[in-house]
Amino acid sequence: MAEPTTPKSPEWGTFVLILACYVAWLAVAFWLAGWSLWLASPAMGVVAAMHSSLTHEALHGHPFRAQWLNEALMALPLTLFIPFNRFRDLHLAHHQDANLTDPYDDPESNFLDPKVWSTLSGWQRRFYAANNTLLGRMVLGPLIGQLAFMRDEWRGAIRGDRAILLAWALHLPGVAAVLWVVSLSPMPIWAFCLSAYIGLGLVKIRTFLEHRAHEKSRARTVIIEDRGPLAFLFLNNNLHVVHHMNPAAPWYRLPALYRAAKERYLACNEAYVYRSYGQIFRAHLLRAKDPVPHPLWPKY
């Protein structure tokens, strides 16, 4: 049931969506920001979140067969903080399902090794515990994730990791280009940086509970049956087990794939399913879903 590794033909709908994302970036920076910065900042955050979702599509081989072209389309980093090459490499490593939620081998895990947890001070534990609520993940998650990411990037760069050095060499000119364009607009640089942070916070809504600790790797990945604005913003990646089982399928095919084999997907992930993002907000806005230390790892 897995999809082919590359699309058979250009996905023009995705290409148009990429162009629309850049047009929206310019429209918010040059028009909406001149009218109301209070509206422009959250609107730019939505644009940044959509750009992140489209970047995810590009690293999985969309919209064109030529991967260099897909990567060139996403060369302007509207979220500023993560180089495309590093997002690509770490995310593809995350697709090794046997490692999902592993505090060391899954680059996108939010769990800590219980041994590390035991060494943290009281304020550090409270900080991480707050990050395990949905509100905390949206507000603190981008900061915590960026600090951990930069720590690991620095260590890799010191070791002479060429992939890391190349990624940042390509990323920084893109950041400079984005900030130069914004500097020509009515939108202050600080407001644009805040918007990038807001965008990453919106993405944290999707990633908040998309993987759980479970003894069976196939049962770790969620289905959120939402079909509203957030599902579109995340390009149907809320149907996450469908994406993991069909990583080359374009975003617009995921709902049909889910409808065609719903029972199979739910049997695979042992009914790890939510009906909507509204259900998740009601249950976990201020209440953690998971502990910070990995519950299946030994404590000592």
The closest of 259, 264, 267, 199 to 234, measured between CA atoms, is: 199
pLDDT at 8: 60
Strand residue runs (E) in 3-119: none
pLDDT at 4: 41
pLDDT, one tens digit per residue, over 123-133 is 999 999 999 99
pLDDT at 97: 79
Q: Which helix (H) or strand (E) holds 273?
A: strand 273-274
Domain boundaries, the chain: 12-284
The string of DSSP letters for 109-171 reads ---B-HHHHTTS-HHHHHHHHHHTSHHHHHHHHHHHHHHHHHHHHHHHHHTT-HHHHHHHHHH
Report the chain (300 residues): mean pLDDT per 10 consecutive residues: 53 97 98 97 98 97 96 96 94 87 91 95 96 97 96 95 96 98 98 98 97 94 97 98 96 98 96 97 96 87
Q: Which helix (H) or strand (E) holds 179?
A: helix 162-183
Model pTM score: 0.93
Residue entry with tokens 């009281």 = 122
pLDDT at 2: 44
Which residues are 150's β-sheet partners?
Answer: none
Q: Is 62 helix (H, G, I), strand (E, B) or coil?
A: coil
User: How big is the CA angle at 226 (ends 137 and 81), to the nearest 5 degrees?
Assistant: 35
Q: How far apart are CA 90 and CA 76, in angstroms?
A: 19
pLDDT at 98: 83
Region of residue 160 (left: phi > 0; alpha: psi -120 to 50; beta: else): left
Helices (H) and strands (E) in the chain, counts: 15, 2
pLDDT at 6: 45
pLDDT at 300: 59
